[in-house]
Amino acid sequence: EELSFVMQRWQCDLENVKKRVSSLRTSVSDTEQRGDRALKDAREKHTELQNALQKAKDELACMLRDYQELLNVKLA
């Protein structure tokens, strides 16, 4: 009878451990998905910022050319 009690106790403990493992797996999966989304969003933002920087550089180069042309006209 004592052996039966011990076996029942172990089975109960085992079920609790299985539930905990399942919960942890779900938590890990959710965390991985959130991390993947955050990484994707960060990469998209990085691309946007790179594009904005390139646009600003292009505009600055255009302004510098215009300024140089005006300066050349003024000095001529």
In this prediction the pTM is: 0.67
**Angle ∠(9,13,17) on CA atoms, nearest 5:** 170
DSSP 17-67: HHHHHHHHHHHHHHHHHHHHHHHHHHHHHHHHHHHHHHHHHHHHHHHHHHH
Tell me the residue range of the domain where 57 lies: 1-76
Q: Residue 33 corresponds to which amino acid?
A: Q
Confidence of residue 76 (pLDDT cuts 50, 70, 90): confident
- The total domain count for the chain is 1
pLDDT value, residue 41: 99
- Please give the structure tokens belonging to residue 45: 């933002």
> Given a cut of 90, is residue 1 above it in pLDDT?
no
